[in-house]
Structure 1
């Protein structure tokens, strides 16, 4: 095969998906693929504005220019999601996702059809898309492309969604409130409690459109040719093995830490990032609690206030990512009560903060990127899951890997109490406590698993080489 394999990659429009997707594109390009990377117009504009690019027109900023200068063959373009830039997608999320399910597939279909007619694109052979999209395999089949699905969360969450039929058969979907039962019938997942299932599976799920997104996505992914997972084989061995009996699956994570990508700086953040380095330099090693609840899910006023009071009561040093949409929830006089012990920022480079020697713990919503980054930096966690995959991620962190503790002992209610918050923070940061020492030992163990997976002879690196080999073999067979 003379020509390089060429893949179109279309990112899912949320921060937790964009970061790993960009890194996956860089990895494929480093293995000799030509990549055409696609953001929506809105995501392009938001990243451009947040990173102070001098040009913020739809095609004025090429995020992959530096990667091309280093020799990677990555092209970049954008597609409309059907809404004007000024439309508030978070405020009108149901309207946005109704359109993304009904109208966006047609836009992608037309977009890819037009692209394949352009000079230099007749050799496109692969479509690599986020599993959450409802159209990739169908559109790939229409244009005779090989369909590659990329799942940015743990394999356990994928498997639960993949086996919704079993949940229905066993009366666990839709999930009724206050039910507390063990589930032992999901292939490769082992025993999980109903409380750990994703909140969007509940009977009273307020955002019913999320169920629709999941249903359509997992009907579609069963038609994919290959599925890539942003996880580690050694941590989810049985789950991945069970899934591989259904479709070709490959664990290649954590993709945010691929070793050969550090020289390629690609703008990925949807928010401007504050530099916390000088503040951290003034604090003793292991004394700082980093607090962040991610980029998207809304928090309640009660939660924010109790966590704020708990931070003050703990007397710990902390950095808290207080997004602009929750800043008004802070208690009156909070900044005075902090008295120099806390730094509030609207956003920051999370890995830079977590890797600082001053940071000794992470109070987290358990987003999968956050979990992987915390382990990578060897930081113990206090877990407060809010939505989507986060309840299952909490189970992995606390129950299975034992590298974190729960913020709330009663996970069913998720009501936060300032006294408990203070106690949990003190417990985590006190290196003399048995709990803290145990967590530290286990996080060092899991950290080693992650780092070994990305070594030259590690599982994720070898799996990625296998993906490349199998994709090329499929392409040869097709031609």
Structure 2
């Protein structure tokens, strides 16, 4: 029994209830299972329903059914988030978040308690850093507490040091300082405009999201380990400074490298995916891909200006427009006759498998909200950015893309509403000419870094193996195996 605990560690995984978090969690589950872990993956009933509704090919209730045929030991179950299935979580955002803050942990406690009771070999909890309860659950059931951070280390360390931001008046002040933040360990001076949106605000710092952030980043400091979907070489100073506080492992990029059809496919999309393959038979690098991700909302005014900018640019484009991209109760947000005016040159779809699109040779640029998954995928596919951050970490991610790595352009530099003229100008710069050539040259260098880090001797592969060894050591200590091994022999 004791050797089995170490030979095949058993972990329960809880992703946050957003697609941008579910995706890297699924790929981490596959990575760990390939390294000998037995994984039980837990989605909320709502997320599971959206995935199965959008993926008609799913057989039964296990999204890992196909993946399990590869011989990897992955189990799957669901949990209530405390709300009925018909509840509109997007339209009633704050109410839903209050539920996650106050109610969800009771459902987790019940599920983990039942699982551990029926299978005492469960030794590890891997939960999203944005949850507020992992340390409590891990302590109660004697589990190794692993926090999985799905965004860059820069964002993690800024949240981690909220106390310093408050102490120095850059956050939680009625008149936040506007000079650069130059006192966060491992972070070079950063402008307030490049902080996450929840830190930039001066109006209400007691919203439900702020309260979740306060609790979550207090709780993460109690984790045994933090694993991070980033690359050591891209954020070395920040990661090194964090490692002085807690064990943290940069194991990214966490996605199916190569994006080939031969990879283990696990459905993660919350919407039905349009197939754009036939439409993309266009000249190399001539198509702009436009997507604002799975969660963020865009104002109707900005949407209209972007639409006219795309129309006037003359560039071919694919525009992913979720039905709720403005709000779920605002159905008509495009200019009149817009879809007729772009026929043949533009394609508007509600959702797609992004990896298939940006890996296509016809794609030459990505007008993006700067979600972290999109950034890693786009670097892998050598596609430069036009950055239009909307919420939370996206402003900080933009700083990395534009200022630090120089693989993209700002769509606009002001806080004011964008103009169609500005959209036209920036589209042309990112798609062709000397600026575009330089962006593509640099992004190819970053792609090589990502490739190297995933090699057998690459930093991410080494960090992942070290993490697994450290987890096993922690399991030994928690279960008293070290002392017994020393007494009885291995």
Q: Classify the secondary structure of the residue corresponding to 1:117.
A: helix
1:349 aligned to 2:353?
yes
Indicate how the Cα distance of structure 1 residues 253 and 386 shifts in structure 2: closer, same or farther if over 3 A, else same.
same
Which residue does the alignment assign to 1:265? Answer: 265
Q: Classify the secondary structure of the residue corresponding to 1:139.
A: helix
Which residue does the alignment assign to 1:211? Answer: 210
Which residue does the alignment assign to 2:276? Answer: 276
Determine the C-alpha separation between the residues in 2 that align with 1:277 and 1:473. Answer: 48
Indicate how the Cα distance of structure 1 residues 265 and 139 shifts in structure 2: closer, same or farther if over 3 A, else same.
same
1:363 aligned to 2:367?
yes
Which residue does the alignment assign to 1:199? Answer: 197
Deviation at 1:409, TM superposition (A): 2.4
TM-score between the two structures when normalised by the length of structure 1 = 0.95
Q: Classify the secondary structure of the residue corresponding to 1:39.
A: strand
Following superposition of structure 1 onto structure 2, how do residues 374-413 of structure 1 map, counting pairs within 5 Å? 374-410=378-414, 413=415
Deviation at 1:10, TM superposition (A): 1.1
Q: Classify the secondary structure of the residue corresponding to 2:279.
A: helix
* Contact in 1 for aligned 2:196/2:393 (Cα 8 Å): yes
Q: Classify the secondary structure of the residue corresponding to 2:148.
A: strand
Determine the C-alpha separation between the residues in 2 that align with 1:180 and 1:383. Answer: 22
Indicate how the Cα distance of structure 1 residues 240 and 347 shifts in structure 2: closer, same or farther if over 3 A, else same.
same
Following superposition of structure 1 onto structure 2, how do residues 6-155 of structure 1 map, counting pairs within 5 Å? 6-53=10-57, 60-118=60-118, 121-155=119-153
Determine the C-alpha separation between the residues in 1 that align with 2:172 and 2:451. Answer: 38
Which residue does the alignment assign to 1:292? Answer: 291
Deviation at 1:174, TM superposition (A): 2.1
Q: Hey, which bits of structure 1, 4+ residues long, moved more than 6 A? A: none
Determine the C-alpha separation between the residues in 2 that align with 1:110 and 1:385. Answer: 38
Indicate how the Cα distance of structure 1 residues 37 and 25 shifts in structure 2: closer, same or farther if over 3 A, else same.
same
Following superposition of structure 1 onto structure 2, how do residues 157-172 of structure 1 map, counting pairs within 5 Å? 157-172=155-170
* Contact in 1 for aligned 2:259/2:355 (Cα 8 Å): no
Unaligned runs of 5+ in 2: 326-330, 480-490
Unaligned runs of 5+ in 1: none
Determine the C-alpha separation between the residues in 2 that align with 1:474 and 1:206. Answer: 37
**How many corresponding residue pairs?**
468
Deviation at 1:337, TM superposition (A): 1.7
* Contact in 2 for aligned 1:259/1:454 (Cα 8 Å): no
Which residue does the alignment assign to 2:302? Answer: 303
Deviation at 1:206, TM superposition (A): 8.2
**CA displacement 1:227-255 (0-9 Å, x = unmatched):** 00000000000000000000000000011
* Contact in 2 for aligned 1:94/1:207 (Cα 8 Å): no
Which residue does the alignment assign to 2:482? Answer: none
**CA displacement 1:272-324 (0-9 Å, x = unmatched):** 1000000001x110000000001111110111000000001100000000111
Indicate how the Cα distance of structure 1 residues 177 and 355 shifts in structure 2: closer, same or farther if over 3 A, else same.
farther
Determine the C-alpha separation between the residues in 2 that align with 1:258 and 1:444. Answer: 16
Q: Classify the secondary structure of the residue corresponding to 1:328.
A: coil
Determine the C-alpha separation between the residues in 2 that align with 1:253 and 1:122. Answer: 31
Which residue does the alignment assign to 2:3? Answer: 2
**CA displacement 1:170-229 (0-9 Å, x = unmatched):** 001126678531111111011100011111121225881111111110010000000000
Q: Classify the secondary structure of the residue corresponding to 1:319.
A: strand
Q: Classify the secondary structure of the residue corresponding to 1:456.
A: coil
Which residue does the alignment assign to 1:438? Answer: 438
Q: Classify the secondary structure of the residue corresponding to 2:222.
A: coil
* Contact in 2 for aligned 1:27/1:258 (Cα 8 Å): no
Determine the C-alpha separation between the residues in 1 that align with 2:102 and 2:58. Answer: 35
Indicate how the Cα distance of structure 1 residues 465 and 194 shifts in structure 2: closer, same or farther if over 3 A, else same.
same
Deviation at 1:100, TM superposition (A): 1.1
1:422 aligned to 2:460?
no
Q: Classify the secondary structure of the residue corresponding to 1:192.
A: coil
Deviation at 1:259, TM superposition (A): 7.1
Deviation at 1:86, TM superposition (A): 0.6
Determine the C-alpha separation between the residues in 2 that align with 1:344 and 1:63. Answer: 28
Determine the C-alpha separation between the residues in 1 that align with 2:247 and 2:408. Answer: 32
* Contact in 2 for aligned 1:363/1:383 (Cα 8 Å): yes
Cα RMSD of the aligned pairs, angstroms, is 1.6
* Contact in 1 for aligned 2:176/2:202 (Cα 8 Å): no
TM-score between the two structures when normalised by the length of structure 2 = 0.93
Determine the C-alpha separation between the residues in 2 that align with 1:134 and 1:158. Answer: 15
Determine the C-alpha separation between the residues in 1 that align with 2:459 and 2:253. Answer: 11
